[in-house]
Amino acid sequence: MDRSTFYKLCDLLKNHGGLKESKNMFAEERVAIFLNMLGHDQKQRLLVRRLRRSKETITRNFRQILRCVLRLHNILLKTPEPIPEDSNDERWKWFKKCLRALDGTFIDLRVQEIDKPRYQSRKGDISTNVLTACSVDMEFTYVLPGWEGSAADSRILKDALLRTHSIKIPRTYYLVYVGYTNGEDFLAPYRGQRYHLKEWKDGYKLRTSLEYFNMKHSATRNVIESFYEAETHADIISSCCLLHNLIRREMKFDPLEPLLDIDYGRQFMNGDDDGDNIDVVESSIAWTL
């Protein structure tokens, strides 16, 4: 985050997030401490020593700024827009009216010993399963954190559709991974066929129309020590997604983008609950050739 974006964030937090100066710290200092802990894994004890503040002050400040950032979700989360009929984008033109990509991701976290069985993923890691949806320019349009690592992707998607602040799908569709149900509004790849882009490297040639579809689907969909309780972890994940959108919006050059492999792609929701939105996941033969 550059200096200009930092001050933009501070202004948003003051005007829309309820950020105020504390008795002993300016608002900008409070935000800087929060970002250091969030973005650079700065431990509380290090900040206590460096800033000569009490641990209680550092902890209270982090939680207060976290709540302020979450209040910006209506501003920083992007409203999804379907791919237009006349799109000639080489990655997205194959999927007219698509609302972009939707997927789950596992994020490691620490939980109490009694909760570890629920948060253990199929790979054995202690993690949380986060459902996210992204736009073509790599901004988040929806985030649902908080589910245990043992929860199946399809179960989390069903929950996202039934929540009060649900993901809105106005009779279009999302591209989804093979773990989700292939229905009218969620287009998954063909099972039993090559899918990941790395499988087409080293001169491999496409053999069937199903492999060709999976290749296009994969190229498009891949756009997307302090202890805190699980609820706070969920808030931190949402906060990171909002800050990511702000950086993508305000900075002409994203310093992390060169680290991405261009071959692999470039719970909050904006808008009111109106129109004919999807509220159930059902299997369908609509996408069958």
State pTM to two decimals: 0.70
The phi-psi region of residue 242 (left if phi > 0; otherwise alpha if psi is between -120 and 50; otherwise beta) is: alpha
Half-sphere exposure of 176 (CA within 13 A, CB side): 22
What does each C-alpha distance from 236 to 11, 116, 124, 224, 239 come to in angstroms?
20, 19, 23, 18, 5
Of the candidates 139, 115, 205, 167, the residue with the CA atom closest to the CA atom of residue 281: 167
User: Would you state the structure tokens that stand for residue 144, as one six-digit string?
Assistant: 């649902």
Instruction: List per-residue pLDDT tens for the chain, 289 residues long.
Output: 889 999 999 999 999 999 988 877 899 999 998 998 888 766 677 777 777 888 888 888 889 999 999 999 999 998 888 888 888 887 778 888 888 788 888 998 888 889 899 999 988 999 999 999 888 788 899 899 989 999 988 889 888 888 877 776 666 778 787 777 777 778 888 776 766 656 656 666 777 778 777 777 777 766 554 456 777 888 999 999 999 999 989 987 766 666 655 443 335 444 444 455 656 566 665 565 5
